[in-house]
Amino acid sequence: MTSLEDLQLSLAGLDEVEAGILVLDTAYEVVHWNSCLERLSGISSREVVGVRLWDLFPEMAGSQFRRAVDEALSSGVPSLLSHALHPALFPLRHRDGRPLLHDVITRRFHGHPEPLCFVQIKDATERRHLQMALDHSRLQYRSVFEGAAVGICELTRDGEYIRANEHFCAMLGYNATELLGRRFQEFTHPDDVKVSLELVRGLFSNETPNFRVEKRYVRKDGSVIWACVTGSKTKAAMPGTETAVAVIEDISERKALEAERQLLLEQKDLLVREVHHRVKNSLALVASLLSMQNRQIEDPRARAHIAAAHRRVAAIAQVHDRLHRGSQMNRVALGPFITDLCVDLEGMVMAVEGGQQVVSQIDVDLELSIDQALPIAMIVSELVGNAFKHAQPHGLPGRVDVVCRLDAGALKLNIRDNGVGLPEGFDPSGGHGLGMLIVTRLTQQLQGRLEARNLPSGAEFSFTFEPGRWGRHHPDLPG
């Protein structure tokens, strides 16, 4: 056997290989053409062995393939001819007739004393299809990325921008080249950097799958914009190459409206406070005028009437004072309010009667609206006034206790004196004068309950009111 026949025999083993294999000698004559190549080309080995390749495929004589074969034969340098640049070097087809995309590798065959060129033909069709599908999905991703009407960017775990869409660039006033490779920290408002870094860290340490934050960016022109940023981590094929994708929405306009609304609310509060203050001042003025007028009156009955009027006006003024000073414009903290009212009442009674005492024991943590606080102030004022008027008919020093507490959501107000007690058969709603009439009417208005009883020494009025119940059926104010 010649050495060539030896070689052909040993090459027969390559028939099993799932790749086209072709061996050429220095005269470009085919030494071997394996069965895979027979199948793909439709040309049998018998037809080609011993034939010059260029005679079989004349168009190949001047191709890159010819150069590659020459180099392999002369210098032994291997070459790779990719389907990317040579779509159909050999006329090969799949069994179903589709053209077979292929890569060709040429190299020196070292198993023979004479220079031989070993040609390997690899099917690239499947790979190409996968690549095309990948390119397609990349394009889709890109079109979503670029076409979005919100800012989208991709960042590394260090916060470096590796992708940014046009919308995001426009939002910050930079172009993509200026943004990419730089970190988001550089463009974030200094006050928001810490929070943003913490969120990104949480994302990469898998503490949170995503986040949403409202933060500020500083634009290229130095202006500040507000944005709502939603961040999430991308899945990566290789560990450690994960990135974060952030969707950024400009909310500067909303923020400006919110700020404007807040300002208007503050202005409104200020205005309401001012109104309460003025109402209180006017009522205090009226109360002072009544007090001054009273000092000029001789008749004790007339004096008592004017004093009662003074007390009532002062009680209403007290409500407005509380509203003006409170944290909320329309609500009054009942506890401190009644305590102050009792101090005022004692002062007023002292000025007229002398030697009287009002002791308050208030234990309520309750806020009431002006519609509730005002009648309660009037009720306390009237009952305390009444106690001094009727308990000590002989002008002896007396004491009135005002006890206020909450009992299962109901407000319990007890006004006790140490005087002569109530007359036999006293009915609080019986109409004994203006004071009790006011108390009765206001109790009805509040849907409360008023009871009166005699104690071993003195009388006690108990007023009960359920703030929650009252709110649901608000009757009209009495005419």
Partner 1 sequence: MTAFPSSSFSLLGLSGLEQDALLELINLGVGRAATNLSRMLDEHVVLSVPKAEIQPLTAAADALWAREQKGLVAVEQVFSGAFSGSALLIFPERKSLELVRAIIGPAPPVDEIGDLEQEALTEIGNVILNGCLAIIANTLGGGLRISLPTLLRGDGRAILLSEREPKPDELVLFLYIDFVVRSRNLHGYIALLMDLPSLEGLKALIQAFIANIGIPGRLSP
Beta pairing, strands 367-369 & 399-407: unpaired
Residue 369 Cα to chain centre, angstroms:
33
- Three-state SS annotation for the chain: CCHHHHHHHHHHHHHHCCCEEEEECCCCEEEEECHHHHHHHCCCHHHHECCEHHHHCHHHCCCHHHHHHHHHHHCCCCEEECCCCCCCCCCCECCCCCECCEEEEEEEECCCCCCEEEEEEEECHHHHHHHHHHHHHHHHHHHHHHHCCCEEEEECCCCEEEEECHHHHHHHCCCHHHHCCCEHHHCECHHHHHHHHHHHHHHHCCCCCEEEEEEEEECCCCCEEEEEEEEEECCCCCCCCCCEEEEEEECHHHHHHHHHHHHHHHHHHHHHHHHHHHHHHHHHHHHHHHHHHHHCCCCHHHHHHHHHHHHHHHHHHHHHHHHHHCCCCCEEEHHHHHHHHHHHHHHHHHHHCCCCEEEEEEECCCEEEHHHHHHHHHHHHHHHHHHHHHHCCCCCCCEEEEEEEEECCEEEEEEEECCCCCCCCCCHHHCCCHHHHHHHHHHHHCCCEEEEEECCCCEEEEEEECHHHHHHCCCCCCC
Beta pairing, strands 116-123 & 102-109: antiparallel
* 137 scored as a contact of partner 1 (CB under 8 A): no
* 152 scored as a contact of partner 1 (CB under 8 A): no
Piece of 126-134, 186-194, 276-284, 309-317 that binds partner 1 (CB under 8 A): 126-134
Piece of 127-135, 150-158, 369-377, 439-447 that binds partner 1 (CB under 8 A): 127-135
d(CA 193, CA 199): 10
For partner 1, the closer of residues 94 and 142 by Cβ is 142
Beta pairing, strands 20-24 & 30-33: antiparallel
Structure tokens at 332: 């009054």
* 224 scored as a contact of partner 1 (CB under 8 A): no
* 64 scored as a contact of partner 1 (CB under 8 A): yes
For partner 1, the closer of residues 86 and 277 by Cβ is 86
Q: Out of 129, 142, 220, 405, name the contact with partner 1 by CB under 8 A.
A: 142
Smallest separation (angstroms) from partner 1 to the CB of 328: 57
Q: Out of 12, 51, 134, 343, name the contact with partner 1 by CB under 8 A.
A: 134
* 17 scored as a contact of partner 1 (CB under 8 A): no
For partner 1, the closer of residues 61 and 259 by Cβ is 61
Tell me the backbone φ, ψ of residue 85, rounded to 5 degrees. -105, -20
d(CA 326, CA 368): 12
* 243 scored as a contact of partner 1 (CB under 8 A): no
Smallest separation (angstroms) from partner 1 to the CB of 262: 44
Smallest separation (angstroms) from partner 1 to the CB of 227: 24
For partner 1, the closer of residues 101 and 413 by Cβ is 101
* 85 scored as a contact of partner 1 (CB under 8 A): yes
* 77 scored as a contact of partner 1 (CB under 8 A): yes
* Axis crossing angle, helix 300-325 with helix 334-352, rounded to the nearest 10: 150
* 87 scored as a contact of partner 1 (CB under 8 A): no
For partner 1, the closer of residues 67 and 278 by Cβ is 67
Query: Can you tell me which residue has the tokens 């981590």?
Result: 233
Size of the site for partner 1 (CB under 8 A): 28
* 148 scored as a contact of partner 1 (CB under 8 A): no
Piece of 81-89, 233-241, 293-301, 468-476 that binds partner 1 (CB under 8 A): 81-89
For partner 1, the closer of residues 75 and 296 by Cβ is 75
Smallest separation (angstroms) from partner 1 to the CB of 163: 8
* 220 scored as a contact of partner 1 (CB under 8 A): no
Piece of 100-108, 270-278, 289-297, 464-472 that binds partner 1 (CB under 8 A): 100-108
* 344 scored as a contact of partner 1 (CB under 8 A): no
Structure tokens at 419: 């005087």
* 47 scored as a contact of partner 1 (CB under 8 A): no
* 367 scored as a contact of partner 1 (CB under 8 A): no
* 105 scored as a contact of partner 1 (CB under 8 A): yes
Piece of 45-53, 64-72, 253-261, 279-287 that binds partner 1 (CB under 8 A): 64-72
Q: Out of 3, 131, 361, 457, name the contact with partner 1 by CB under 8 A.
A: 131
* 107 scored as a contact of partner 1 (CB under 8 A): yes
For partner 1, the closer of residues 139 and 477 by Cβ is 139
Smallest separation (angstroms) from partner 1 to the CB of 197: 24
Q: Out of 42, 50, 76, 430, name the contact with partner 1 by CB under 8 A.
A: 76
* 84 scored as a contact of partner 1 (CB under 8 A): yes
d(CA 151, CA 231): 12
* 82 scored as a contact of partner 1 (CB under 8 A): yes
Smallest separation (angstroms) from partner 1 to the CB of 81: 6
* 71 scored as a contact of partner 1 (CB under 8 A): yes
Give contact residues for partner 1 (rule: CB under 8 A): 64, 67, 71, 74-85, 103, 105, 107, 110, 128, 131, 134-135, 138-139, 142, 163, 181
